[in-house]
Amino acid sequence: MRVLGIESSCDETAVAIVNERRERIAELVLSQLKEHRPFGGIVPEIAARSHLNQLDRLIVQALAEAGLTPHDLDAIAATAGPGLIGGVLVGVTMAKAMALALNRPFLAINHLEGHALSARLDPGVEFPYLLLLVSGGHCQLLRVEAVGRYRRLGTTVDDAAGEAFDKAAKMLGLGYPGGPAIEQAASRAAAAGIDPKGYGLPRPMLGRPGCDFSFSGLKTALRQRAQELSAGGALPERERDGLALAFQETIAAVLADRTSHALEMSAAEGRGLTALVVAGGVAANRRIRQALDQVARAKGLKLVAPPADLCTDNAAMIAWAGIERLQAATPGSAGGDGLDFAARPRWPLDPTAPRAAGAGVKA
Ligand code: KG4
Ligand code: ZN
């Protein structure tokens, strides 16, 4: 079984062909970073137009690299939400058109389901596991029980973790995307022996019941500290790097605390887990991985992270989610979604999850 996956919900145009033996036969990711960088963030209209300009060419290229024709594909899967709707529409429309022309199933994949199942593509974890999904758009803890069975234990009440990194970096004049820039500045501060505790940043939600996240108070505190330390002039480099270290330490502590709670909640319900999985762009951060590794070990679990190219947005995870959906479908059923499936800007993976306390809850 070979499935074509299409991902266009954010600022990566990605196409992949994956088979049921977990082989990634072709994989292409085109980042729009350069197009958005002058604006310090993603501009939805630019993203949608860029997906439209690139997608057909990428599909042709992926097929050529795999030595396949469109007729060799068994199904077409595309991210159908949640995400920036202009881009999602581009991918969904392409997938539907191909499915119709080739007479193959069309699979509308929830982007979060793609992330949730990516660790089964590589390295191949067994159900059930706890997933911490931390990216620019998402920050949630999900118990992944089976294909189509996801229980959301916690989510952010304001910003996603990656979004917090990006905003903090902007505030400190460290550029976009913020995560890698903050990590570098933090390493410089650590090497210089700066004590992050000296900055007195608050640790939001730490020790609170449940496992929701909140980062906006931290952001405000960071802005205030930066203003105080710049005393009307420019922020000295040493203080800038020190604040980056303090910020990263705080996020690591908060993610570790919330994840630890989620593991305890699962244990209290008597549910064994096979692993703690971390995915999303923020999973690239070494300090955060280290903190999560400690949490997992303390609970007798291993920390599993898919390889970096599967952690950030990609189409292989979308094709793989399609394969898992087809394999889980009742024999004899078409296994796909109707061509009238409408793209969704919002699409919670677990619609029964209570809303986190606070407004503006993400996906
Ligand atoms: O998963 P991703 O590539 O795209 C989505 O948001 O879906 O994640 C990008 C996010 C950005 O916010 C970026 O700042 C963050 O991941 N990020 C990091 C690091 N590398 C990327 N955050 C912290 N530390 C890093 N090393
Ligand atoms: Zn994503």
17-74 residue pLDDT tens: 999 999 999 999 999 989 988 887 789 999 999 999 999 999 999 999 999 999 999 9
Which carries the bigger pLDDT value, residue 106 or residue 351? Answer: 106
* 157 and 104 in a common domain: no
DSSP H helices, the chain, are 33-36, 44-66, 85-102, 111-121, 161-171, 178-191, 216-230, 237-268, 286-298, 308-311, 316-328
Q: Are residues 265 and 313 in the same domain?
A: no
236 plus 322 within the same structural domain? no
| Tens digits of residue pLDDT in 124-179 | 999 999 999 999 889 999 999 999 999 999 999 999 999 999 999 999 999 878 99
∠ CA 217-218-222 to the nearest 5 degrees?
A: 120
Model confidence band, residue 363 (pLDDT cutoffs 50, 70, 90): very low
Quick check: CB of 87 below 6 Å from ligand 1? no
Supply φ then ψ for residue 12, to 5 degrees.
-120, 130
In the chain, % of residues over pLDDT 70: 98
Any atom of ligand 1 within 6 Å of the Cβ of 178: yes
What are phi and psi for residue 307, nearest 5 degrees? -55, 155
In this model, does residue 322 exceed pLDDT 50? yes
Do 255 and 136 belong together in one domain?
yes
Q: State residue 360's pLDDT score.
A: 42
CA distances from 248 to 83, 90, 282 (A): 26, 36, 11
How many angstroms separate the alpha carbon of residue 280 from the centre of ligand 2?
6
Q: Are both 28 and 103 inside the same structural domain?
A: yes
Going from the Cα of 198 to the center of ligand 2, the distance in angstroms, rounded, reads 34
Residue 134 belongs to domain spanning: 127-305
Query: Is 44 buried (19+), middle (13-18) or exposed (0-12) by CB count in 10 A?
Result: middle
In a domain, 166, yes or no: yes
Neighbours of 339 (CB within 10 A): 13
Query: Could you tell which of 88, 245, 312, 362 is best to mutate to test the pocket of ligand 1, judged by most ligand atoms within 8 Å of the CB?
Result: 312
Q: Please indicate, yes or no, whether residues 145 and 53 belong to a single structural domain of this protein.
A: no
Indicate whether residue 177 lines ligand 1 (CB < 6 A). Answer: yes
CATH for 178: 3.30.420.40
pLDDT of residue 356: 65
The answer to whether residues 170 and 301 belong to one domain is: yes
Ligand closest to 114 (CA) is: 2
What's the CA gap between 341 and 67, in Å, rounded?
A: 31
**With a 6 A CB cut-off, is 79 part of the ligand 1 pocket?**
no
Mutate to test the pocket of ligand 1, among 112, 113, 176, 282 (most ligand atoms within 8 A of CB): 282
Tell me whether residue 350 is in a domain. no
Is residue 3's pLDDT more than 70? yes
Q: What is the mean pLDDT of the chain?
A: 93
The Cα 252–Cα 119 span in angstroms is: 21
> What residues have CB less than 8 Å from 9, skipping those under 6 apart?
79, 81, 82, 83, 84, 87, 88, 91, 111, 313
Q: Is the pLDDT of residue 334 over 90?
A: no
Any atom of ligand 1 within 6 Å of the Cβ of 196: no
Report pLDDT for 269: 84
| Structural domain includes residue 356 | no
Question: Order of strands across the sheet with 139-146?
Answer: 149-155, 139-146, 129-134, 276-279, 303-304
Cα-based angle 95, 81, 88 (whole degrees, multiple of 5): 50
What pLDDT sits at residue 241?
Answer: 98
DSSP string for 119-161: HHHTT-PPSSEEEEEESSS-EEEEEEEETTEEEEEEEBSS--H
For residues 214 and 158, the answer to whether their CB atoms sit within 8 Å is yes
Average pLDDT over residues 319-340: 90
Number of domains forming the structure of the chain: 2
Residue 361 in domain: no
Q: 145 and 104, same structural domain?
A: no
H-helix or E-strand spanning residue 81: strand 75-81
48 in any annotated domain: yes
Residue 93 counted as domain residue: yes
363, part of any domain: no
The pLDDT tens digits of the residues spanning 111-129 come to: 999 999 999 999 999 999 9
185 and 73 both lie in a single domain: no
Question: Do 81 and 170 reside in the same domain of the chain?
Answer: no
Least distant ligand from the CA of 174: 1
The verdict on residue 334 lying in a domain is no
pLDDT score for 359: 39
pTM of the model: 0.92
Q: Quick one: pLDDT at residue 362? A: 42
So what's the pLDDT on residue 207? 83
Around ion ligand 2, which residues have CB less than 5 A away? 135, 313
User: Do both 248 and 313 map to the same domain?
Assistant: no
The DSSP call for residue 276 is E
Residues 268 and 322 both lie in one domain: no
Task: Look at ligand 1, atom 14, and give the residue with the nearest C-alpha.
Answer: 179
Task: Name the residue among 113, 161, 155 with its Cα closest to residue 135.
Answer: 161
The pLDDT tens digits for 175-224 are 878 999 999 999 999 999 999 999 999 888 788 888 999 999 999 999 99
